Structure 1
Amino acid sequence: MHRCLSILELFENICEHVNSANQAQSTLAALARTCKGFTGPALNCLWAVQTHGMVNLMRCMPPDLFEFGDNREARLLRPILAADWERPLIYMRRIRCLYCSVPMAGVSELCASFPDDIGSLFPKLTSLHWNNWTSGDDPSILLLLSPRLTSLSVSARLSETMLPAIPRTCPALKNLDIYRCYHMNSSDRSALSSCLRDLHSLESVEVVISDMVALEHLSRLPCLTSLTTRLLANLPLPSMSLPFIALKALVIRYNIEQVTRFFQSCSGLPLNNVTIELDPCPTTAAMDKLHTALRQGCSHASLLSLAIEIQDDDPPDLGDDAYSAVNMESLRSFFCFVNITSLCIASCVGFSIDDQGLKELAITWPQIRELRLRLEPYYTDIHLHPQFSLRCLSILAEHCRALAALEITLDATVIPSDPDTISQSALCRLDAGKSPIASPAVNVARFISTLFSEHD
């Protein structure tokens, strides 16, 4: 055997390459069985990511222990003995990423029967995804935590007795997603706040914040680059500025007053991507305040992507003066973000913008790659009388040469008699919603395909 094949790293690189190819599992299994040098690295690749929880480990146990159904459901046939763990232990140390869903027969029993003298259940586990849609606590998750864990995602109840174990057992945690934790009372929320404050290496967090101290702690973390959050309506925000010195991506929901106060508590954040999801549909006055706060809270040079979406399925009455269509004055409030490449603005009451307004936008942001002027909810009929015409597509084709995705509702009942000869090849996705269209529709399709040869 060539001496290079005595280098473990070479075996590992070969297995990683094989793992990215088609039929990777069967190839890796063959390598593990037929070549001694490849056995360890191939098994590491095969077992590294377990997307079906502990099913594969259960299949390694004695055949009289579990009965498996067609949908991978397992039924425990007898009590689990210490000797039943002998074979699974060989593979458990190879698992690095585990997806586990509960209720699943056997999981709790499996965790509870783990030998006490072995140590960590999965000593090399770095990523854990735990879903438990039952209403009660399940302490099984605590047995899966380890000091090497850097990524934790939990969709389950985490009580005040369970939350302290996260920073205590996983001090190096970098990615934490507990946004979907539910049934939290005041004691649980206090424990969650303490949990967050005891984690100092976080880079990405998804969580509902109900405590000002926790928010201030997150804002001071030097490595936090991504935050997905909802601020409870009664959460008081500080008068001092929240630094968030490293934050690049922010998703914030749902109450517009709290979202506005959040940005008012910031100054020039170095954000690249901002997504705001609002529910209920905000008034025009509330949106104006939010726009002002955005200009104050975000760096004008760093922001590349801005999305303001509305999740309200019950749009306001069109006759209500508190709600008005999005106009050019609203869009101009974002022109200070000079490097925008993606803009998504949703409205429940339509857009009062015409072709000339869109031309102003196109000239301001010639570099834009994605533009979505979306009407919510999607089934609303207010976009049957849009002010945009087919001519606006020619404007975008001329001024936005990099535009790849466009969502816009326009009046396609009149096809320009003097179509422009401009052609733009970057656009590959066009969503015209319920745009009224001329008959025959093939003429509209021909006009669009002349401008955008690559669109879907």
Structure 2
Amino acid sequence: MHPCLDIPEIFRRICDEIRLRTTPPHPQSDLASLARTCRALSEIALDSLWYEIDGIGPLIRCMPRDLWEIDGDRRLFLRRPLKSSDIHIFNKYAQHVRSFQSHYSPWHDLPYRALPSYFCGRGSDRLLPKLEQLAWHVDNAEVFPHLGIFLSSALKTLSITFDVRHREQLSCLGTIPTYSPNISKLTIGLSHHTTFSFNNSLVEGFSDALQAWHNLSELEIFYAPLDGLLCAAQMPKLKRLSIHLAKISERSLSDLPNFPWDPPCPSQHYFPALKSLALSSIPSLTVATQFFKMLRSTKLSSLKLGFTAPNTLPDHFHTFFSILTEHCNPSSLRVFQFACWHP
């Protein structure tokens, strides 16, 4: 074996390059071969081999063949209770997972339902103890609550989709930082946005839940109510913000003058650390103009705007850019994008 491979940092870099390779042969086979080469290389190679998984199916299928089965509909299920030897095998590989994606499919359904009984004999309350990135996009109200077993202090990035028809899902948004206080990047999707209207109660619940997130440096929200902006404005460490606004009714637009565009205390500032801002699906220049009044002390380096306002008048543009230059520091801006299209 080449002596360079004895240096963990070099061998880890090699494994990372193999993992990120996009051309044939498939990197999984090479990483598996490295993991089987010798004990000294095994752990680092397994870190790359198991770095990212889609669903818990791959971990289940590493356990003895008499434990699991795939039926004619390609659904994976457990045939018997887990033994201590099964748990040992599961833990051996689960500790290497850093990134986990869960999109609802038959591959993911039944294993999640079996997890409560699995944890009864495991002596641990976290499925993947070193998980750093989690994408939780399940389309099943029964599966969604299993999110909790993936939350830990190691988690740094979370992408999650809530079904706004189920208020209990949205309410858990405010409790996640209790279990994963080190999340710095959060992406929120609100499903069924095209057929669901945001009533006052739902908007308040969404806003209240966001107040628990104090350590975010990056936040992206898909189809958010305009009112959700207020909570983001008060996040002290937020540097990057991307919001795709939900469709706003004419009534909501008429309520804009009552929106608290100014901080409650004169000594406070909205978006104190913000450097990058992207807003899309903006219904009018009026909304954008009002919003930029919240950026009095912000030194943006990147600003991207997308409008659905086909009937905007020229004088509206004049007012908009006047407000923009007044409340954003032009000397710090390095990237500016402006797009307007018909909805």
TM-score (norm 2): 0.77
Residue aligning to 2:64: 62
Tell me, yes or no, if the aligned pair for 2:4 and 2:11 is still in contact at 8 Å.
no
Residue aligning to 2:129: 123
**Paired amino acid for 2:208:** S
Cα deviation for residue 247 of structure 1 reads 1.8
**Paired amino acid for 1:131:** H
Residue aligning to 1:270: 299
Cα deviation for residue 250 of structure 1 reads 1.0
After superposition, the C-alpha distances for 1:234-271 in whole angstroms (9 at most, x for unaligned) are: 46132348442332221113222222211123225322
Q: 1:180 aligns with which of 179, 187, 190?
A: 190
Does 1:90 find its partner at 2:89?
no
Does 1:298 find its partner at 2:302?
no
Residue aligning to 2:46: 43
Distance 2:201 2:114 in 1: 30
Structure with the bigger percentage of helix: 2
Does 1:109 find its partner at 2:109?
no
**Paired amino acid for 1:130:** W
After superposition, the C-alpha distances for 1:12-67 in whole angstroms (9 at most, x for unaligned) are: 334234434454322221111122210010001100111x2222112113324444
Does 1:153 find its partner at 2:159?
yes
Cα pair distance change 1:59/1:187, threshold 3 Å: farther
Cα deviation for residue 6 of structure 1 reads 5.5
Q: Which has more radius of gyration?
A: 1
Residue aligning to 1:444: none
Does 1:238 find its partner at 2:243?
no
Cα pair distance change 1:248/1:101, threshold 3 Å: same
Unaligned runs of 5+ in 1: 314-456
Cα deviation for residue 188 of structure 1 reads 4.8
Question: Mapping of 1:28-39 within 5 angstroms?
Answer: 28-39=31-42
Distance 1:30 1:174 in 2: 35
Tell me, yes or no, if the aligned pair for 1:142 and 1:162 is still in contact at 8 Å.
no
Distance 2:71 2:95 in 1: 27
Residue aligning to 2:338: 308
Cα pair distance change 1:132/1:156, threshold 3 Å: farther
Cα pair distance change 1:70/1:42, threshold 3 Å: farther
Q: Which of the pair has the greater relative contact order for Cα pairs under 8 Å at 6+ separation?
A: 2
TM-score (norm 1): 0.60
Distance 1:210 1:269 in 2: 20
Cα pair distance change 1:42/1:136, threshold 3 Å: closer
Does 1:283 find its partner at 2:312?
yes
Aligned length: 308
After superposition, the C-alpha distances for 1:397-450 in whole angstroms (9 at most, x for unaligned) are: xxxxxxxxxxxxxxxxxxxxxxxxxxxxxxxxxxxxxxxxxxxxxxxxxxxxxx
| Cα root mean square deviation, aligned | 3.1
Tell me, yes or no, if the aligned pair for 1:196 and 1:214 is still in contact at 8 Å.
yes
Tell me, yes or no, if the aligned pair for 2:233 and 2:271 is still in contact at 8 Å.
no
Aligned residue for 2:336, secondary structure, equals: strand
Q: 1:217 aligns with which of 234, 238, 245?
A: 234
Aligned residue for 1:113, secondary structure, equals: helix
After superposition, the C-alpha distances for 1:166-208 in whole angstroms (9 at most, x for unaligned) are: 1111111100011435566655543433332222221110132
Cα deviation for residue 110 of structure 1 reads 4.0
